Structure 1
Amino acid sequence: MKTILITGASSGIGKSLAQHYSEHGWHVIAGGRNEQALNELVSQYANVTPLVADLCDEQAVINAAAHLPELDVMLLNAGSCEYVDDPIHFDAALFQRVINTNLMTVAYCLNHWLCKVKQGGQLAFTSSSASFLPLPRAQAYGASKAALSYMAKTLSIDLAPHHIDVSLINPGFVETPLTDKNDFPMPGRISSEDAAKAIYHGLSKRRHTINFPSFFTLVLSMLARLPFSWWRAFAVRNLIRKTS
């Protein structure tokens, strides 16, 4: 039985991933802060082991390392999203929260858990298609995901001699408790179950980049290739229209 560690497994994409991998016969170490939600997974699947930890607390990550077995896959999926609604009065505390949750937690996990990934194993990061383009209000979220994407790509190079494949996952809009809070249109939004299937398929093929849904992420990647001045003019015009 292969073993995968999935962070952020108490809800959203992470929970659907834990369920999907369990149903395909994997031993799943489901990480998260919500002990009740993790215990519900354990009650449904005998091959799920809960890992209750606040990844923002490095000591908790260190403590968890002592209980981890060798891993075939480590999927660092936990994250949060907050928007900067008043750029004139920039909220540094909000920015710090998002960076800590989306980026520093990953650094803690790499520091203390990467040694658990066996040779020939895989490391995966859930970033976001929001990193493709600068989007309004996304200064904190977009910056954290852009940094995560850069980290994943560099590790893909540096870990190759150690025979560890690295995958960067860039979802579009997915139905999760996080996106339920969004107050704007979300084209191409898919279920967390469909997201889990796309990730499972991509990782089974050991793809370095996993983008979905395909049409939405293709459009974003094409827009990202345009001169920034064109995208900026379009985004500013839409922003002015919405606020006027």
Structure 2
Amino acid sequence: MSCVLITGATSGIGFQLAKDYADTGWNVVACGRNTLALQELEAYSPLIISARFELTDLEQIKLVIARLEVSPELWIFNAGDCEYIDRGEIDAALIQRVFSVNVIGLANSLEACQPYFKPGHRIAIVGSIASEVALPRAEAYGASKAAVSYLARTLQLDLKGKGIAVSVIYPGFVKTPLTDKNTFPMPMLITAEQASQAIRRGLEKRNPHIYFPTRFTTILRFIGALPYRWQNVITSKLVSR
């Protein structure tokens, strides 16, 4: 039976992915730090087991992963956080918090899991379409996701020779507890169920890059291909602060 490990499984996209994979007969290792949410997932399906750890604690992650009694073949690194910078007033502590989860937390998870990667496995890393265009207030979040995208695309090159495939996922706006905190309009917002479907379909097709929703991410990718000066003019007019 196939097995998938999912970080950030205690809310939003990760929570939905865990349920959907279990519904289709996969064994699921749901990772996160919210004990109640992990218990809810285990109660949802006997195919789901939980792995509780803090993304910022590398040694804790290594211990938890080493104790698993299942062997994942699909690894979805989904955990992330978002905070915004207001009025361009840099807050170094805020940036450090976001990077500690989105970048260092990802690196910790990858290092802890990499002894168990084997030829034929697939790694999926959830970034953001925000990494491809500079957006107002996204100095911390966008920069962290740009780092995630670069890290993931580099892994695609370095792990190919080992027979390990890497998919990079670029969501647009998805309704989750994280985006529920946003106070600005979110164009073409989709549900976590729709996001899960897009991710699972893309991974099943073994796509190296997965963008959704298609129309929104295509628009931002087009803007991102323009000269920076033009990008700034367009985004300053189109994006609400």
- TM-score category of the 2 structures, normalised to the smaller one: over 0.9
Is residue 10–residue 38 contact of structure 2 (8 Å, CA) maintained in 1?
yes
Mind listing any 5+ residue stretches in structure 2 that lack a counterpart? none
SS of match in other structure, 2:118: strand
Identify the residue that residue 10 of structure 1 maps to in structure 2.
Answer: 10
Match for residue 55 of structure 1? 55
Correspondence 1:207 to 2:194: no
1:15-55 per-residue CA deviation (whole Å, 9 max, x = no partner) reads 00001100011000000110111111111100000011111
Counterpart position of 2:153: 153
**Aligned in 2, Cα 1:86/1:60: closer, same or farther, shift over 3 Å?**
farther
Structure 2: how far apart are the matches of 1:115 and 1:20? 27
Give the deviation of 1:238 after TM superposition: 6.1
Is the Cα contact below 8 Å between 1:70 and 1:118 reproduced in 2? no
Change (3 A) 1:26 1:85: same
Counterpart mapping for 1:1-244 below 5 A: 1-68=1-68, 69-88=70-89, 90-236=90-236
Q: How many angstroms apart in 1 are the aligned matches of 2:95 and 2:73?
A: 33
The amino acid of 2:84's aligned partner reads: Y
Instruction: From the superposition, tell whether residues 203 and 161 of structure 1 become closer, same or farther in structure 2 (CA, over 3 Å).
Output: same
- 2:163 and 2:130 map into 1 onto residues whose CA distance is 29
Whether the 8 Å contact between 2:3 and 2:73 is mirrored in structure 1 is: yes
Partner Cα separation in structure 1 for residue 190 and residue 237 of structure 2: 28
SS where residue 210 of structure 1 aligns?
Answer: strand
**Per-residue deviation, 1:208:** 0.2
CA RMSD of aligned residues (A): 1.4
CA distance in 2 between counterparts of 1:220 and 1:41 reads 34
Residue identity over aligned pairs, in percent, reads 45
Partner SS, residue 118 of structure 1: coil
Q: State how far apart, in whole Å, the 2-side matches of 1:82 and 1:194 are.
A: 24
Q: Secondary structure at the match of 2:231?
A: helix
Structure 1 segments unaligned to the other structure (5+ residues): none
Deviation at 1:237, TM superposition (A): 5.1
Q: Runs (4+) of structure 1 moved beyond 2 Å?
A: 233-239
Secondary structure at the aligned position of 2:123 is classed as strand
* Count of equivalent residues: 240
For the residue of structure 1 that corresponds to 2:93, the secondary structure is helix
Distance in 2 (alpha carbons) for counterparts of 1:21 and 1:9: 12
Is the 2:58–2:112 contact (alpha carbons within 8 Å) kept by the matching residues of 1? no
Question: 2:129 touches 2:217 (CA, 8 Å); kept in 1?
Answer: yes
Determine if contact 1:171/1:213 at 8 Å carries over to the other structure. Answer: yes
Query: 2: CA distance between counterparts of 1:236 and 1:213?
Result: 22
- Tell me, what secondary structure is at the counterpart of 1:119? coil
The structural deviation recorded for 1:70 is 2.4
CA distance in 2, matches of 1:138, 1:114: 30
- Determine the C-alpha separation between the residues in 2 that align with 1:77 and 1:237: 31
